[in-house]
């Protein structure tokens, strides 16, 4: 018996959430169907499939395999990665080029890049059987909806979901800012991917994202170590100093974090920062600045730099850092396991130093060799363990409740508030009760 709506509704209140949402496999299965099976989920970037026949595979939730592929007319499709014959997963590799067509490894049916069945072997065996090869049920099926915003491709298994831009709402501004930081207004994937499996529930990473009450505690030791290192550097060690300084904002004070503010949107999206963020003080590369001004003019360039968000969440699957040009893609695996991938982007038309800075940031903050990301992971694991205790059934999200400012299409709150978590759980509840798109 699946959980009833009344049982689901009892798991999330406006200021606290029941521990079952993190540790109960039944809740997890329902999340896969009702959140990950309805929301727009990030698939990949168009630059990962530049030529006809290029493909990239992923799962849309913990199970459903999909493939993003470019056809000969340049269109990008997101197809169910399932053979139209007896259902075999068609594309096994993570990425590659399926020259003329996809060919199933089992009985050799072939499919065009838009999913349409092309040829089947020994076709006469179907004569006079009522089988109709032209019936679209024999194709690789398209997902219910897919769309791209400035090159970022999303898909949803729900035909009721509103269009992608409506679903993103005001959080769309962050994609615009990320791309506008390129003198050509476009970005492309570069520099490989960091991929890690974490032994805990998928929601911890998105709850941690804009949890600004943790950095000065969890990351205190690495910030201190970075500062101690900087103090040993001679005056002329400019490069080493600027690299180590990337870590220092993670020790920002409560006042600084509060000042950033958090903005929440419908469907669970949110960002912190805006006017200022922990990335606001990064110095601008002079060559990059010159190219930006040549492309946009002084005023617009200043405006682009001054939109300083830290992390933006497109609930539930994608987080982006506009000022750093990297993204993290989340995929649940089980109630106590998820995968996170960090992808970096090149700002087209910018000097190579900008990409090197992005890659350096990813290594320093998000990689397994980083001193920052593993601090967070250790805490997720501790929460996962701790919640198995029956000492209390609830996890609180009270901070600054009642002080949020409703601006119509968005809600603004203090940077150290739990507005981010409350925003996520309002969406969690809507999706799980199947009321999100009604
Ligand atoms: S399952 Fe793909 S050709 Fe038979
Ligand atoms: Fe952290």
Same domain, 113 and 183: no
Same domain, 346 and 390: yes
Judge whether 158 lies within some domain. no
Same domain, 137 and 173: no
Same domain, 215 and 327: yes
Judge whether 128 lies within some domain. yes
Range of the domain at 415: 169-432
Q: Is the beta carbon of 83 within 6 A of some atom in ligand 1? A: yes
- pLDDT value, residue 335: 98
**CATH code of residue 111:** 2.102.10.10
State yes or no: cis peptide before 325, omega within 30 of 0. no
312, 360, 307: which is closest to 177 by C-alpha? 307
Judge whether 13 lies within some domain. no
Q: Give the integer Cα–Cα distance in Å for 340 and 366.
A: 10
Q: What is the DSSP string of 18-40?
A: ETHHHH-HHHHHHHHHHTTTTS-
Same domain, 201 and 119: no
Q: How many domains does the chain have?
A: 2
Which residues, other chains included, contact 166 with Cβ-Cβ below 8 Å and sequence gap of 6+?
none
- pLDDT value, residue 278: 67
**CATH code of residue 321:** 3.90.380.10
Judge whether 229 lies within some domain. yes
Residue at which a domain ends, from 90, 117, 149: 149
Helix (H) or strand (E) holding 421, with range, is helix 419-432
The two beta strands, 102-103 and 270-274, are unpaired
Q: What residue's CA is closest to ligand 1, atom 1? A: 86
Same domain, 132 and 186: no
- pLDDT value, residue 282: 64
Which of 106, 110, 125, 138 is the pocket-test mutation for ligand 1 (most atoms within 8 Å of CB)? 106
Is the backbone of residue 18 left (phi > 0), alpha (psi -120 to 50) or beta? beta
Helix (H) or strand (E) holding 327, with range, is strand 326-334
Ligand nearest to the Cα of 138, by number: 1
Per-residue pLDDT tens, the chain, 438 aa: give them. Answer: 789 999 999 999 999 999 999 999 999 999 999 999 999 999 999 999 999 999 999 999 999 999 999 999 999 999 999 999 999 999 999 999 999 899 999 999 999 999 999 999 999 999 999 999 999 999 999 999 999 999 999 999 999 999 999 999 999 999 999 999 999 999 999 999 999 999 999 999 999 999 999 999 999 999 999 999 999 999 899 889 988 988 998 999 999 999 999 999 999 999 999 876 666 666 678 999 999 999 999 999 999 999 989 999 999 999 999 999 999 999 999 999 999 999 999 999 999 999 999 999 999 999 988 889 999 999 999 999 999 999 999 999 999 999 999 999 999 999 999 999 999 999 999 999 999 998
Q: Is the beta carbon of 85 within 6 A of some atom in ligand 1? A: yes
Q: What is the DSSP string of 143-176?
A: PSEEEEETTEEEEES-SSSPPHHHHHGGGHHHHH
Judge whether 25 lies within some domain. no
Tokens of 395: 């996890």
* Cα 422 off chain centre by: 19
Residue at which a domain ends, from 97, 120, 149: 149
> Taking the alpha carbons of 236, 242, 248, 249 in that order, is the dihedral positive or negative?
positive
Same domain, 307 and 395: yes
pTM of the model: 0.97
Residue at which a domain ends, from 118, 149, 180: 149
- pLDDT value, residue 280: 64
Measure 372 CA to ligand 2 centroid, in angstroms: 6
Same domain, 55 and 105: yes
Same domain, 136 and 224: no
Judge whether 19 lies within some domain. no
Same domain, 97 and 194: no
Same domain, 243 and 137: no
Judge whether 280 lies within some domain. yes
Which of 79, 82, 86 is the pocket-test mutation for ligand 1 (most atoms within 8 Å of CB)? 86
Judge whether 24 lies within some domain. no
Ligand nearest to the Cα of 219, by number: 2
Q: Is the beta carbon of 104 within 6 A of some atom in ligand 1? A: yes
Q: What residue's CA is closest to ligand 1, atom 4? A: 107
SS3 401: coil
Same domain, 144 and 174: no
> What is the position in ligand 1's atom list of the atom closest to the CA of 84?
2
Question: What b-and-e string marks burial along 71-88, b requiring 16 or more CB atoms within 10 Å of the CB?
Answer: beeeebbbbbbbbbbeee
- pLDDT value, residue 279: 67
Measure 84 CA to ligand 1 centroid, in angstroms: 7
């Amino acid at each position: 018996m699946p959980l009833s709506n009344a049982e689901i509704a009892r798991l999330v209140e406006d200021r606290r959430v029941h521990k079952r949402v993190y540790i109960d496999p039944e809740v997890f299965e329902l999340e896969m169907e009702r959140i990950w099976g309805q929301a727009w989920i990030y698939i990949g970037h168009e630059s990962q499939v530049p030529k006809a026949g290029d493909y990239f595979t992923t799962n849309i939730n913990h199970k459903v395999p999909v493939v993003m592929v470019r056809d000969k007319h340049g269109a990008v499709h997101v197809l169910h990665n399932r053979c139209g014959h007896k259902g075999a997963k068609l594309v096994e590799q993570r990425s590659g080029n399926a020259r003329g067509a996809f060919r199933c490894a089992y009985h050799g049916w072939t499919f065009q890049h838009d999913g349409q069945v092309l040829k089947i072997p020994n076709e006469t065996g179907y004569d006079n059987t009522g089988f109709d090869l032209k019936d679209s049920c024999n194709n690789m099926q398209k997902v219910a909806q897919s769309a791209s915003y400035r090159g970022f491709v999303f898909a949803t298994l729900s035909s009721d979901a509103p269009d992608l831009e409506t679903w993103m709402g005001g959080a769309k501004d962050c994609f615009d800012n990320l791309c506008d930081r390129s003198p050509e207004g476009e970005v492309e994937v570069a520099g490989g991917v960091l991929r890690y499996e974490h032994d805990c529930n998928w929601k911890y990473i998105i709850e941690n994202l804009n949890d600004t009450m943790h950095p000065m505690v969890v990351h205190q030791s690495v910030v201190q170590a970075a500062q101690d290192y900087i103090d040993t550097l001679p005056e002329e060690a400019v490069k080493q100093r600027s690299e180590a300084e990337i870590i220092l904002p993670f020790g920002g004070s409560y006042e600084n974090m509060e000042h950033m503010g958090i903005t929440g949107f419908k469907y669970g999206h949110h960002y912190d920062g805006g006017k200022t963020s922990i990335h606001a003080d990064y110095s601008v590369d002079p060559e990059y600045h010159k190219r930006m001004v040549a492309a946009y003019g002084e005023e617009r360039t200043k405006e682009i730099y001054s939109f300083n968000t830290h992390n933006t969440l497109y609930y539930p699957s994608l987080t982006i850092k506009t000022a750093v040009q990297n993204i993290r893609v989340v995929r649940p695996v089980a109630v106590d396991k998820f995968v996170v991938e960090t992808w970096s982007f090149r700002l087209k038309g910018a000097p190579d130093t900008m990409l090197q800075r992005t890659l350096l940031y990813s290594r320093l903050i998000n990689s397994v060799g980083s001193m920052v990301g593993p601090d967070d992971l250790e805490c997720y694991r501790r929460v996962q363990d701790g919640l198995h205790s029956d000492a209390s059934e609830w996890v609180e999200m009270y901070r600054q409740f009642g002080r949020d400012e409703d601006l119509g299409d968005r809600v603004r709150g203090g940077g150290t508030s739990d507005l981010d978590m409350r925003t996520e759980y309002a969406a969690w509840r809507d999706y799980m009760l199947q009321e999100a798109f009604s």
